[in-house]
Amino acid sequence: MGITSYRIDKIEGKADKRGGEAVDVKESFAITGTDKKNQNMIEVSWSFDVDYKAVGKISLAGTLVYFADNLADKYEEKTVKGKKGIVLKGPALKEVSNFILRRGIIECVVVAKELQLPAPIQLPSVRVEQKKA
């Protein structure tokens, strides 16, 4: 089935200095928590960060709901550091990770525009060349 809903709970952004030099942009995301709501739904907490080296930073955090008719093969229960938790696996992990990455980039494009920072992805551009005679 897949992701049925999502929400963003936190948006933080800052722009430290402006300049004309090239900016190194690094994106990262994490699944920060999972909670099984019922036999068909898992709520996933996530974060997405864009680091503009020495220029600024954008951070998002939120939750999404992953739904499947049969969740048994989509996750496993593990104990890490004495704490029991749910870990997504296989196609469920791939789908949730891709969703966080895509949604994070889309939302950060809007925030970057407001902060006058470069977009967190390489946007398409036109290249004009002289026609050879």
Taking alpha carbons only, the member of 97, 98, 100, 102 closest to residue 87 is 97
For the CA atoms of 97, 31, 40, 2, what is the dihedral angle to 10 degrees? Answer: -20
Taking alpha carbons only, the member of 14, 20, 10, 12 closest to residue 115 is 14
Q: Domain segments of the chain: what residues?
A: 2-115
For every one of its 133 residues, what pLDDT tens digit does the chain have, with 9 covering 90 and above?
Answer: 689 899 999 999 999 877 667 788 899 999 999 988 888 899 999 999 999 988 899 999 999 999 988 877 888 888 777 778 888 888 899 999 999 999 999 999 999 999 989 888 887 888 888 888 7
- Check the CA dihedral 24-32-77-39 and report its sign: negative
Domain spanning 2-115: CATH 3.40.190? no
Q: What angle do CA 8, 65, 67 make, to 5 degrees?
A: 160
Helix (H) or strand (E) run with residue 42 in it: strand 41-52
